[in-house]
Every structure is written in C-alpha cells, then in structure tokens.
C-alpha cells in the first residue's frame, strides 16, 4: 500500500481545498475550505462560471450574502463527491463578534438546508478566539456543528472542548513556520513544534474524555502528516495527498486513545481570564492567530471586489 492508503487505516483523511475537481482522485471522507482556498479556486477558469452564476442568481442581495451563496455552492459541489462533511468558513471579520458569528452560522446552515443538504454534513468554521468559541458553543446547542480553526495552542483547544464543539483544526504548518523563522532551525518529524502541539492536544482530549474531534491541518510536508498517524482526522492539500499516494514508505500509528491515557499531561482549569492570559503568554499562538485573521479577512475583501466587479 502507498502512504495514503496506509494512513487511512489509522486516520480519517480530509481534502483541504476549494478545488473540488481535484478531490476525486484521493477519495477523502471529508473536505475543508476557507476564504483563501475559495478565492484561489474562483480565479481558475473552470470555476469562474460559479462566481458569475452566484452574482446573476442573487444580484438583488448584498455582496456578503452573494458570497454566502457562493460558499454554499462550492460546498454542495464538494458534497457530491465525498461521503462525509464539508467545512464552510464564516467571515473572519466576525472573529471578535459573538452574535455576528452566530447569525452567520445559522445563515449558512439555512442555505445548505434550502439546497437539500442535511446539516449533519456541514461544519461551520470559526476562528478560535474567545468570542468565536462562545459563538460555537451556542451554535452547537442549536444543532449546528462547528470546526474551530486558526488554533495554535492548548488553551484554545481546551476552551473548544469545554464548549463541546464538534471538531478543532490545530495548524501544524503555521506553528512550524513561526518556530523555524524565530529560531533559524529547520525542524522535522517528531521534533516539529507543530506536530508536538497536535500530539499534546490529542493526548489531553483523550486522557480527560473530551468528545471533540482533533483534525491536524496546515501541513508543509508529508513528514508532519505521517508523524500524526492515528489522529482523529488530518486535512491535507491535494499536492501533499499526491505525494503520499506516490510513496510506499511504511507508515506506523503514532497516536492512539490507549497511549494517551498514559500521558503525563495535567488538567487545566480554564476561564476567560486564564484563557486570555495563557494565549497572550504564547507569542507564537498570539501572533499566528492575529495573522490568520488578517489574512482571511483580506481574502474576503478580495472576493467581495470580484463579486462587485460582476454586478
């Protein structure tokens, strides 16, 4: 078996792309999108008709509402290919607006359900700010499943788990990027700070009985991926899925619930003050969270300009 086939024995594979035509070859169960991936997709000739059609069909709506329809259209197309769930992201500019995020989550689910898609097949992606986590808590209670993204630290993960969110997406590659830049050292395999972060989160969740799923995300190379074999899910870009499919190097399980029970990780009591203090004390997590929100917000603005140009 190739590495991708081996990995599927231990972990649920998720495609990290807005390019749904590239998904078919790898047979993932789920798929994730974000504003940057959708922006990248609609700049390709094969997807420009989807953008044009969204503007044509919903031109009487606001630009933001047209983009909601566009995101859901991409989600619908992806769900025709995969058997599982698609993640659709809320506007990153709502990252510090709890009620705005709640409203956007309900609006997106309403569009999916109007298109005949069961809400259990959709995850609403929300940034792992304190405000975003509180919004996800409310949405979860209303039966809207959430994927908490831009997650770089254990306190973010714990707050998500205690809010009973469906799934979190710790960002392996962006953690790696920060430590590589700050230290000048190129990490690999089990020493990779991004890999270590996900292992710590996974062990904490399994040791203390949290149901929240852990999905490693934002990978830079296949070594990071295979080092997390056994994680609940891994969301992987098409180019790295291809690299895994082309390699037959053995893959062994690295994470398991049984091993997590032996972990020496300690329970942390978390409230808003301790969450904000611990996040602030982690320069990497603070900087990467802020940077991620800025990047996704900027790409949302670019997407709005593309919509407005067609109106």
N- to C-terminal Cα separation, the chain: 50
Q: Which is nearest to 159 in space by CA: 133, 121, 187?
A: 133
Does 125 participate in catalysis according to the annotation?
A: yes
Report pLDDT for 180.
97
Q: Which domains does the chain have, with CATH numbers?
A: 3-310 (3.20.20.70)
Structure confidence at residue 189 (pLDDT): 85
* pLDDT in the model for residue 29: 97
Q: What integer pLDDT is reported at residue 150 of this predicted model? A: 98
Q: Pairing mode, if any, of strands 146-151 and 213-216?
A: unpaired
Q: Which residue among 104, 125, 207, 254 is the active-site one?
A: 125
Residue 271's pLDDT is what? 98
pLDDT tens for the chain, 311 residues: list them: 999 999 999 999 999 999 988 999 999 999 999 989 999 999 999 999 999 999 999 999 999 999 999 999 999 999 999 999 999 999 999 999 999 999 999 999 999 999 999 999 999 999 999 999 999 999 999 999 999 999 999 999 999 999 999 999 999 999 999 999 999 999 998 999 999 999 999 999 999 999 999 999 999 999 999 999 999 999 999 999 999 999 999 999 999 999 999 999 999 999 999 999 999 999 999 999 999 999 999 999 999 999 999 99
């Amino acid at each position: 078996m190739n590495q991708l086939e081996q990995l599927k024995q231990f972990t649920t594979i998720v495609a990290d792309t807005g390019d749904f035509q590239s998904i078919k070859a790898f047979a993932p169960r789920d798929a994730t999108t974000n504003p940057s991936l959708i922006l990248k997709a609609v700049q390709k000739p094969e997807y420009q008709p989807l953008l044009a059609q969204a503007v044509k069909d919903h031109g009487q709506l606001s630009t933001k509402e047209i983009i909601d329809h566009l995101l859901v259209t991409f989600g619908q197309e992806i769900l025709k290919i995969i058997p599982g769930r698609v993640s659709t992201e809320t506007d990153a500019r709502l990252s510090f607006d709890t009620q705005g995020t709640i409203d956007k989550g309900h609006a997106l689910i309403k569009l999916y359900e109007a298109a005949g898609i069961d809400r259990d097949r959709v995850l609403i992606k929300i940034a792992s700010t304190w405000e975003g986590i509180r919004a996800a808590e409310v949405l979860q209670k209303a039966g809207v499943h959430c994927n908490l993204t831009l997650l770089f630290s254990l306190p973010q993960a714990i707050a998500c788990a205690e809010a009973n969110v469906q799934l979190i997406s710790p960002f392996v590659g962006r953690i790696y990027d920060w430590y590589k830049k700050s230290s000048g050292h190129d990490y690999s395999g089990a020493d990779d700070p991004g890999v270590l972060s996900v292992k710590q989160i996974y062990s904490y969740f399994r040791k203390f009985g949290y149901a929240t799923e852990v999905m490693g995300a934002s990978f830079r190379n296949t070594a990071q991926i295979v080092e997390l074999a056994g994680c609940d899910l891994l969301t992987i870009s098409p180019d790295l899925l291809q690299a895994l499919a082309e390699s037959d190097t053995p893959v062994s399980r690295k994470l398991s619930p049984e091993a997590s029970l032996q972990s020496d990780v300690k329970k942390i009591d978390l409230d808003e003050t301790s969450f904000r203090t611990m996040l602030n004390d982690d320069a990497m997590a603070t900087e990467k969270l802020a940077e991620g929100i800025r990047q996704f917000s900027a790409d949302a603005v670019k997407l709005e300009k593309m919509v407005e140009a067609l109106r």
